[in-house]
Structure 1
Amino acid sequence: MKAYIQTEKSGEFYNVNAFIAYEGFKKFGFEIKKFVDVDEISDKNPENIIVGGIGNVRRRLQNLNIIRQNKEIDYPEELKPFLKRQIWSSTINEIFNKKEWNIFIKPQIETKLFAGKVIKNEMDFLGLIDNERDTLIWCSELVNFKTEWRCFIRYKEILDIRRYKGDWDTKIDIELVKDAISQFTLQPNSYALDFGIDENGEIFLVEVNDGHSLGTYGISSADYAKFLSARWSELTQTEDYLNF
């Protein structure tokens, strides 16, 4: 079993997530292989996991001739009741022309195209408008989240929950998280449910994130390796050697 982990040209792991993955897979006896450019990997065995940025992970899947649907799982239909706010599909040009201000937008397909941002006026479109093509986006009503958590879900069970924003003494409703998991019928083998709480104490589902290349947010190295392995094996239709 091998784990290919992305590094800088210097040989240092490209970020803390890569290092934590290294620690985790090493614990479980994986042979660790470093890489800088995913296209340089000649190994064609889909069982061997890759750890890196979202672009590299998806390019590796392409290189293995594995088809992954392009659309993200940000807002699953089954979880709409947990969103508690209006979310709709649009394009950059449509929002700009309609002057729909005071909303949050993020790319629907090209997740690395730009970071999700709040649109308050025309100036917020700088760098977003492309005259050659229009960009498909998600739009959301604004919610002032005071605290946010990432819930790591693996095989329909909560693996860990990590607060990444806000007050340390705010509590998340675990039963609500479990309810969301049970309602998410088409869930992948590993993914994250991000929840936030507003100034009135109401809890919202912020978004859902695919599990193939998420940040650690403080999760243990062993759990992180198990989390990544679950999703990679599902995408490649291979055995998950860490399914225990």
Structure 2
Amino acid sequence: MRAYVQQFLKGDPNYLNLERIAYTFWERGYEVLRFDYPEFCKGNLDRGLLSYPDETIVAGGVGMVREAIKRANRSLPELLELPNCLKPWIGREYWTSTLEEVRQPFEKEEYTQPVHVKPLYEHKRFTGTVFREFRDLIPSAAVDGATEVLVQEVVEFVSEWRAYIFRGNIRRVANYLGDPLAFPNPVQMQAALEAFENRPVACSMDWGITSAGETLLVEVNDGYSLGNYGIDMHIYTAMIEARWREIMGLEDNGIGMGI
């Protein structure tokens, strides 16, 4: 098996996680090949992606992996974010729009409720942020107004947790922001997991705890590219591999069943 793992420079937020991914695939006996974006654009991964898909895995940032999926002539998986089947656990209004449409009332300084805004598809365009007043538009001022965005009613969370889902089970729950003693309701998490239709083999469900103690779904993330907040690296790389094979339309090789 061959694992192509994206290479970042030291100092990049993704650097350490990708180094650990590369090391773990090597430890598992895989041939590990590092690459950067210019090498990818030159077609350096094409031979593995097109000629040996059953022996090839790609690990990297969300945008990079999605580009690799397209390069392999496979359909891009739908971005999960907030699936409608999980609406009972979301606990707030949300909708899609364009950045220009969301900006307008703030640019005119009209009274409007604060909203959380993040790119729907092009995640690197700008970081998700709350628009409360005109000055909040500045970080995204250079972004094309036609950019599609996910807009949400603002909810203040005192704590946020990531539940790693693999083969239908919660494998780890990790605090990544806020109060580590404010834990999400396990009954709510399990109920949402069971209600999650067309769930991928590997993904995460992020949960937030409000000041009133409610457990609400923050978002869902696909397993082909997830931040690691403390899950065992062998489980983590098995999640990446299993989800990659699922997207490629390959037979499930059972990776991760014994760990």
Q: TM-score, structure 2 length as denominator? A: 0.86
Structure possessing the higher relative contact order (Cα contacts under 8 Å, 6 or more residues apart) = 1
Larger deviation: 224-233 or 168-177? Answer: 168-177
1:67 aligns with 2:79: no
Partners of 1:106 and 1:117 within 8 A in 2: yes
Match of 1:223 in 2: 235
Task: Report SS of the residue matched to 1:126.
Answer: helix
Match of 1:201 in 2: 213
Q: Within 5 Å, which residues of 2 pair with 1:21-40?
A: 21-37=21-37, 38-39=40-41, 40=44
Match of 1:88 in 2: 95
> In the alignment, residue 162 of structure 1 is paired with which amino acid?
A
Larger deviation: 221-230 or 98-107? Answer: 98-107
Match of 1:138 in 2: 150
> In the alignment, residue 156 of structure 1 is paired with which amino acid?
G
1:151 aligns with 2:159: no
Q: Distance in 2 between matches of 1:74 and 1:172?
A: 19
In 2 relative to 1, CA 118–131 (structure 1 residues): closer, same or farther, beyond 3 Å? Answer: closer
Q: Within 5 Å, which residues of 2 pair with 1:1-244?
A: 1-8=1-8, 15-37=15-37, 38-39=40-41, 40-41=44-45, 42-43=47-48, 44=50, 45-47=52-54, 48-69=56-77, 71-99=78-106, 100-129=112-141, 133-241=145-253, 242-244=255-257
Q: Give the deviation of 1:229 after TM superposition.
A: 1.1
Structure with more of its chain in helix, by fraction: 2
Identical pairs, percent: 31
In 2 relative to 1, CA 110–8 (structure 1 residues): closer, same or farther, beyond 3 Å? Answer: closer
Task: Report SS of the residue matched to 2:58.
Answer: strand
Q: Give the deviation of 1:98 after TM superposition.
A: 3.1
Q: Any gaps of 5 or more consecutive residues in structure 1?
A: none
> In the alignment, residue 120 of structure 2 is paired with which amino acid?
Q
Q: How many residues align?
A: 242
Q: Name the Cα RMSD after superposition.
A: 2.2
- Cα displacement string for residues 53-101 of structure 1 (whole angstroms, at most 9, x for unaligned residues): 11211111111111214x5211101000100111122221112223344
Q: Distance in 2 between matches of 1:14 and 1:81?
A: 33
Partners of 1:190 and 1:210 within 8 A in 2: yes
